[in-house]
Amino acid sequence: MSQVPGGMPAADRDLSGYGRNPPDPRWPGGARLALSFVVNVEEGAELALSSGDERNESVYEAREEVVGHRDPCMETHYAYGSRVGLWRILDLLDAHDVKATFSACGRAVAAAPHLAAEPHARGHEVSAHGWRWETHARMPEATERAVIARTVAAIEAATGARPVGWHTRSAPSVNTRRLLIEEGGFLYDSDAYDDDLPRTVARPDGRPHVILPYAFDTNDMRFQPGGGFVQADDFARYCIGAIDWLLREGRTQPRMLSIGLHLRIIGRPARMAGLEAVLAHVARTPGIWVARRCDIAAHWLQDGRR
């Protein structure tokens, strides 16, 4: 018999989840769907030689990396988000009375405190998105611990409030969640993409830490080359499709949905109508609880149900 390559999945991977009997989240007001808008704040945290980083960022609308010298083109692409996109998105959210979670990189906030201070002043949550906009997958433990602490400090300095949520760009390390729990101030993280409901893991002291799954499909990052979104309506139709399907399921099993936004992406004028269409659809559709992620996590823990 020929040998079959590879082994079994790691023992700590849960491929079953809640199965056919997920818990009833009992969303406020009997809502069938908890909807979370996440605005990613990364401008100034992207890799750049001018910031003393090892290389320039290569991910944007044009996939190109300038090697060996400063890249003003890439820098100004990102700066559009902090200079223009922030205000455009904030004003549209205000117009629809929607509160979001602004997932902010520490270095971006340290360089431009208004990126956190203004959302906080308007009642949005500011959560942590790492120091630089980078994966943590190969990061040494001591470095990652320092990165978490520095990110928390930058956001707290800009807003007067420490972040209680965390999301790593792409892959966390094998230590990330443990380090967040050891840090002590985090209620939740969003380093998961595997469910339509939150779940918890136990801290060493027995208290629960909430995992709020995130999503890359209902996300404006798909406006980037090859991502599938071209017109604003592409984004709107896709997100509305997800909302309506989960509302349908929510007649018997309420769910959660995340919609990801970026200052420099959805904040472009030709794309804002897509976000506006989603917000208008939500406003006229019953059964949706639009909430900051900190509120969803806190609700999940109410009455010791989880």
Give the model confidence (pLDDT) of 40-95 as tens digits. 999 999 999 999 999 999 877 666 778 888 988 889 999 999 999 999 999 999 99
Q: Is position 101 within any domain?
A: yes
Query: How high is the pLDDT of residue 306?
Result: 52
Q: Is position 143 within any domain?
A: yes
**Structural domain of residue 245, as residue ranges?**
32-53+66-304
Q: How far is CA 285 from CA 212, 244, 247, 282, in A?
A: 23, 9, 10, 5
Cα-Cα-Cα-Cα torsion 149, 150, 152, 157, nearest 10 degrees, comes to 140
Q: Is position 17 within any domain?
A: no
Q: Check if the beta carbon of residue 144 is closer than 8 Å to that of residue 179.
A: yes
Q: Is position 20 within any domain?
A: no
Q: Check if the beta carbon of residue 27 is closer than 8 Å to that of residue 34.
A: yes
The three-class DSSP label of residue 46 is coil
Q: Check if the beta carbon of residue 87 is closer than 8 Å to that of residue 93.
A: no
Number of domains in the chain: 1
Q: Is position 127 within any domain?
A: yes
Q: Is position 239 within any domain?
A: yes
The residue count of the chain comes to 306
Q: Is position 61 within any domain?
A: no
pLDDT in tens, 179-212: 999 999 999 999 999 999 999 999 988 899 999 9
Q: Check if the beta carbon of residue 80 is closer than 8 Å to that of residue 101.
A: no
CATH number at residue 169: 3.20.20.370
Q: Is position 21 within any domain?
A: no
Mean pLDDT of the chain: 95
Separation of alpha carbons 293 and 53, rounded Å: 31
